[in-house]
Amino acid sequence: MIDAGVAGIWNDMNEPASFNGPLPDDIIFDNDGTIVTHKEIHNVYGHMMDKATYDGIKEFTGKRPFVVTRACYAGTQKYATVWTGDNQSTWEHLKLLFMPALLFTLIQEAVIGKDYPCLLTQKAKAVLAGMAWIVVGFYTYTGVWGKDVAWIDILLFYTAVALYTWLSKRSIEKEKKYCNAGVGTAVFVLTFILFLVFTVQSPKIGLFRDPQTGSVNVSKILV
Protein backbone atom coordinates (compact mmCIF):
# COMPACT_ATOMS: atom_id res chain seq x y z
CA MET A 1 0.00 0.00 0.00
CA ILE A 2 2.84 2.38 0.78
CA ASP A 3 4.20 1.71 -2.73
CA ALA A 4 0.82 2.75 -4.12
CA GLY A 5 1.03 6.12 -2.38
CA VAL A 6 -0.87 5.45 0.83
CA ALA A 7 0.36 8.03 3.32
CA GLY A 8 -1.26 6.69 6.48
CA ILE A 9 -2.99 3.73 8.09
CA TRP A 10 -6.30 3.63 9.96
CA ASN A 11 -6.37 0.80 12.50
CA ASP A 12 -10.04 0.07 13.12
CA MET A 13 -11.56 -2.71 15.23
CA ASN A 14 -8.02 -3.43 16.43
CA GLU A 15 -8.84 -4.86 19.84
CA PRO A 16 -10.07 -8.33 20.81
CA ALA A 17 -13.83 -8.07 20.26
CA SER A 18 -16.96 -9.99 19.40
CA PHE A 19 -20.18 -8.98 17.67
CA ASN A 20 -22.03 -11.45 19.87
CA GLY A 21 -21.46 -9.69 23.18
CA PRO A 22 -18.40 -9.09 25.37
CA LEU A 23 -15.49 -11.54 25.32
CA PRO A 24 -15.14 -13.71 28.43
CA ASP A 25 -12.40 -12.58 30.80
CA ASP A 26 -10.95 -16.13 30.93
CA ILE A 27 -9.67 -15.99 27.32
CA ILE A 28 -5.87 -16.13 27.48
CA PHE A 29 -3.10 -14.53 25.37
CA ASP A 30 0.64 -15.08 25.03
CA ASN A 31 2.28 -11.78 25.97
CA ASP A 32 5.95 -12.33 25.06
CA GLY A 33 5.96 -15.70 26.77
CA THR A 34 3.74 -14.66 29.67
CA ILE A 35 0.21 -16.04 29.72
CA VAL A 36 -2.28 -13.24 30.45
CA THR A 37 -6.06 -12.94 30.44
CA HIS A 38 -8.15 -10.94 28.01
CA LYS A 39 -8.95 -8.50 30.81
CA GLU A 40 -5.23 -7.74 31.20
CA ILE A 41 -4.31 -7.51 27.52
CA HIS A 42 -7.44 -5.96 25.97
CA ASN A 43 -6.14 -2.38 25.83
CA VAL A 44 -2.48 -3.30 25.37
CA TYR A 45 -3.37 -5.40 22.29
CA GLY A 46 -4.46 -2.32 20.35
CA HIS A 47 -1.47 -0.34 21.62
CA MET A 48 1.00 -2.91 20.34
CA MET A 49 -0.73 -3.02 16.94
CA ASP A 50 -0.42 0.76 16.70
CA LYS A 51 3.26 0.60 17.61
CA ALA A 52 3.89 -2.10 15.02
CA THR A 53 2.08 -0.06 12.35
CA TYR A 54 4.06 3.05 13.24
CA ASP A 55 7.42 1.25 13.28
CA GLY A 56 6.72 -0.56 10.00
CA ILE A 57 5.76 2.57 8.06
CA LYS A 58 8.66 4.56 9.50
CA GLU A 59 11.17 1.85 8.62
CA PHE A 60 9.85 1.65 5.07
CA THR A 61 9.49 5.39 4.34
CA GLY A 62 11.93 7.02 6.72
CA LYS A 63 9.22 9.57 7.54
CA ARG A 64 7.00 10.14 10.53
CA PRO A 65 3.91 7.93 9.93
CA PHE A 66 0.30 9.05 10.15
CA VAL A 67 -1.67 6.40 12.05
CA VAL A 68 -5.26 6.57 13.31
CA THR A 69 -6.45 4.01 15.83
CA ARG A 70 -9.60 2.98 17.66
CA ALA A 71 -7.98 0.88 20.38
CA CYS A 72 -5.32 2.45 22.59
CA TYR A 73 -3.51 2.40 25.92
CA ALA A 74 -1.33 4.75 27.94
CA GLY A 75 1.38 6.01 25.60
CA THR A 76 -0.38 5.19 22.33
CA GLN A 77 -0.45 8.88 21.45
CA LYS A 78 3.26 8.57 20.65
CA TYR A 79 2.37 6.31 17.73
CA ALA A 80 -1.16 7.20 16.66
CA THR A 81 -4.03 9.62 17.02
CA VAL A 82 -7.11 8.12 18.66
CA TRP A 83 -10.76 8.09 17.67
CA THR A 84 -13.60 6.60 19.70
CA GLY A 85 -15.17 4.19 17.24
CA ASP A 86 -18.81 3.75 16.24
CA ASN A 87 -20.21 3.38 19.72
CA GLN A 88 -23.84 3.67 20.56
CA SER A 89 -26.45 2.83 23.14
CA THR A 90 -30.03 3.82 23.80
CA TRP A 91 -28.70 6.07 26.55
CA GLU A 92 -26.51 8.00 24.10
CA HIS A 93 -29.47 8.49 21.76
CA LEU A 94 -31.47 9.92 24.64
CA LYS A 95 -28.69 12.42 25.33
CA LEU A 96 -28.64 13.43 21.67
CA LEU A 97 -32.28 14.40 22.03
CA PHE A 98 -32.24 15.85 25.53
CA MET A 99 -29.20 18.12 25.47
CA PRO A 100 -30.18 20.20 22.39
CA ALA A 101 -33.78 20.30 23.69
CA LEU A 102 -32.55 21.64 27.04
CA LEU A 103 -30.43 24.33 25.37
CA PHE A 104 -33.28 25.39 23.07
CA THR A 105 -35.71 25.46 25.99
CA LEU A 106 -33.41 27.72 28.01
CA ILE A 107 -33.18 30.11 25.07
CA GLN A 108 -36.95 30.09 24.64
CA GLU A 109 -37.48 30.64 28.34
CA ALA A 110 -35.18 33.66 28.27
CA VAL A 111 -36.85 35.17 25.17
CA ILE A 112 -40.55 34.33 25.49
CA GLY A 113 -40.83 32.82 28.96
CA LYS A 114 -42.77 35.78 30.36
CA ASP A 115 -45.47 35.35 27.75
CA TYR A 116 -45.71 31.59 28.26
CA PRO A 117 -45.54 30.73 31.99
CA CYS A 118 -46.09 27.02 31.29
CA LEU A 119 -43.27 26.79 28.76
CA LEU A 120 -40.88 24.71 30.90
CA THR A 121 -43.56 22.24 31.92
CA GLN A 122 -44.84 21.79 28.39
CA LYS A 123 -41.36 21.41 26.95
CA ALA A 124 -40.50 18.88 29.64
CA LYS A 125 -43.50 16.79 28.61
CA ALA A 126 -42.41 16.97 24.97
CA VAL A 127 -38.83 15.89 25.62
CA LEU A 128 -39.94 13.04 27.90
CA ALA A 129 -42.31 11.85 25.16
CA GLY A 130 -39.49 11.94 22.61
CA MET A 131 -37.16 9.95 24.86
CA ALA A 132 -39.90 7.45 25.66
CA TRP A 133 -40.44 6.96 21.92
CA ILE A 134 -36.77 6.02 21.48
CA VAL A 135 -36.75 3.55 24.38
CA VAL A 136 -40.07 1.88 23.56
CA GLY A 137 -39.35 1.77 19.84
CA PHE A 138 -35.86 0.29 20.26
CA TYR A 139 -36.82 -2.49 22.66
CA THR A 140 -39.97 -3.28 20.71
CA TYR A 141 -38.31 -3.80 17.33
CA THR A 142 -35.20 -5.55 18.73
CA GLY A 143 -37.45 -7.82 20.76
CA VAL A 144 -39.47 -8.74 17.67
CA TRP A 145 -36.61 -8.83 15.16
CA GLY A 146 -34.01 -10.23 17.52
CA LYS A 147 -31.20 -7.87 16.48
CA ASP A 148 -30.15 -4.22 16.35
CA VAL A 149 -30.25 -2.44 12.98
CA ALA A 150 -28.45 0.88 12.57
CA TRP A 151 -30.83 2.48 10.05
CA ILE A 152 -33.83 1.73 12.26
CA ASP A 153 -32.03 3.32 15.23
CA ILE A 154 -31.39 6.43 13.14
CA LEU A 155 -35.02 6.50 11.99
CA LEU A 156 -36.21 6.16 15.59
CA PHE A 157 -34.06 9.10 16.63
CA TYR A 158 -35.29 11.41 13.87
CA THR A 159 -38.93 10.48 14.49
CA ALA A 160 -38.34 11.21 18.19
CA VAL A 161 -37.01 14.65 17.24
CA ALA A 162 -40.06 15.20 15.05
CA LEU A 163 -42.38 14.13 17.88
CA TYR A 164 -40.63 16.44 20.33
CA THR A 165 -40.80 19.35 17.89
CA TRP A 166 -44.50 18.79 17.13
CA LEU A 167 -45.48 18.46 20.78
CA SER A 168 -43.44 21.54 21.70
CA LYS A 169 -45.11 23.67 19.04
CA ARG A 170 -48.55 22.29 19.86
CA SER A 171 -48.14 22.85 23.59
CA ILE A 172 -47.04 26.45 23.12
CA GLU A 173 -49.95 27.16 20.80
CA LYS A 174 -52.37 25.69 23.36
CA GLU A 175 -50.81 27.31 26.41
CA LYS A 176 -52.64 26.58 29.63
CA LYS A 177 -53.53 29.42 31.93
CA TYR A 178 -52.56 27.56 35.06
CA CYS A 179 -49.68 25.18 35.57
CA ASN A 180 -46.80 24.45 37.90
CA ALA A 181 -43.63 25.72 36.23
CA GLY A 182 -41.60 24.12 39.01
CA VAL A 183 -42.48 20.68 37.69
CA GLY A 184 -40.89 21.40 34.32
CA THR A 185 -37.80 22.85 35.98
CA ALA A 186 -37.48 19.80 38.24
CA VAL A 187 -37.77 17.42 35.28
CA PHE A 188 -35.03 19.16 33.32
CA VAL A 189 -32.69 19.49 36.31
CA LEU A 190 -33.18 15.90 37.48
CA THR A 191 -32.78 14.46 33.96
CA PHE A 192 -29.64 16.52 33.39
CA ILE A 193 -28.13 15.25 36.65
CA LEU A 194 -28.98 11.65 35.74
CA PHE A 195 -27.27 12.04 32.37
CA LEU A 196 -24.13 13.36 34.07
CA VAL A 197 -24.01 10.63 36.72
CA PHE A 198 -24.99 7.62 34.62
CA THR A 199 -22.73 8.55 31.72
CA VAL A 200 -19.72 8.14 34.03
CA GLN A 201 -21.10 5.33 36.20
CA SER A 202 -23.42 3.37 33.93
CA PRO A 203 -25.63 0.69 35.49
CA LYS A 204 -25.15 -2.71 33.85
CA ILE A 205 -28.54 -2.84 32.18
CA GLY A 206 -29.65 -2.87 28.54
CA LEU A 207 -30.38 0.85 28.37
CA PHE A 208 -26.65 1.60 28.64
CA ARG A 209 -25.33 -1.35 26.62
CA ASP A 210 -23.58 -0.98 23.26
CA PRO A 211 -25.44 -3.48 21.02
CA GLN A 212 -22.25 -4.29 19.10
CA THR A 213 -19.70 -4.76 21.89
CA GLY A 214 -22.10 -5.59 24.71
CA SER A 215 -20.17 -3.20 26.96
CA VAL A 216 -21.71 -0.67 29.33
CA ASN A 217 -18.43 0.76 30.58
CA VAL A 218 -17.27 3.91 28.77
CA SER A 219 -13.58 3.16 29.19
CA LYS A 220 -14.03 -0.32 27.71
CA ILE A 221 -16.05 1.00 24.78
CA LEU A 222 -13.48 3.63 23.87
CA VAL A 223 -10.63 1.17 23.84
Block mean pLDDT (10 aa), the chain, length 223: 80 80 78 85 88 91 89 90 73 88 91 84 92 93 85 92 90 66 88 87 68 52 36
42, 108: one domain = no
Residue in 25, 55, 86, 175 annotated catalytic: 86
Task: Answer yes or no: is 78 within a domain.
Answer: yes
Among candidate residues 82, 117, 137, the one where a domain is terminated: 82
Q: Which of 82, 103, 124 is the last residue of a domain?
A: 82
Question: Can 12 be counted among the known catalytic residues?
Answer: yes
Q: Are both 51 and 114 inside the same structural domain? A: no
Same domain, 118 and 41: no
Distance of CA 57 to the CA centre of its chain: 32
Kindly write down the DSSP assignment for every residue of 17-73, as one continuous string.
--TTSPPPTT-EEEETTEEEEHHHHHHHHHHHHHHHHHHHHHHHHSS--EEEESS--
Residues 173 and 195 in one domain: yes
Evaluate whether residue 3 is within a structural domain: no
From 47, 62, 82, give the residue that closes a domain.
Answer: 82
Contacts of 200 (CB under 8 A, 6+ apart): 218
Look up the domain containing 57 and give its range: 8-82
CB 68 within 8 A of CB 80: yes
Catalytic residue among 15, 50, 109, 210: 15
Pair 171, 203 in one domain: yes
Instruction: Kindly state whether residues 107 and 217 are assigned to the same domain.
Output: yes
In a domain, 2, yes or no: no
- What is the Cα–Cα distance from 12 to 69, expressed in whole angstroms? 6
Beta bridge partners of 11: 69
pLDDT of residue 221: 37
pLDDT number for residue 211: 58
Residue type, 207: L
Residue 178 is predicted with a pLDDT of 59
Please indicate, yes or no, whether residues 134 and 175 belong to a single structural domain of this protein: yes
Within a domain: residue 104?
Answer: yes
Helix (H) or strand (E) segment spanning residue 175: none
Q: What is the pLDDT, as a whole number, of residue 148?
A: 79
Residue 194 lies in a domain: yes
Contact 171, 130 (CB under 8 A): no
Domain count for the chain: 2
Whole-model pTM over 0.75? no
The confidence score (pLDDT) of residue 180 equals 72
Which uninterrupted H or E stretch holds 137?
helix 119-145
Q: What is the distance between the alpha carbons of residues 112 and 49, in angstroms, rounded to a whole number?
A: 55
Reduced to 3 states (helix: H, G, I; strand: E, B; else coil), residue 10 is strand
- Are residues 163 and 125 part of one domain? yes
How far are the Cα atoms of 55, 60, 69 from residue 76, in angstroms, in the given order? 13, 20, 9
- Active-site pick, 12, 55, 92, 175: 12
Catalytic residue check, 15:
yes
pLDDT at residue 145 in the model: 87
Domain match, 69 and 179 both: no
The helix (H) or strand (E) run that includes residue 202 is none
CA distance 140 to 144: 6
Residues 68 and 103 in one domain: no
77 shares its domain with 111? no
What local confidence, expressed as pLDDT, does residue 114 receive? 83
- 28 with 95, same domain? no
d(CA 121, CA 181): 6
- Domain assignment present for residue 183? The answer is yes
Q: What is the pLDDT of residue 206?
A: 65
pLDDT of residue 219: 41
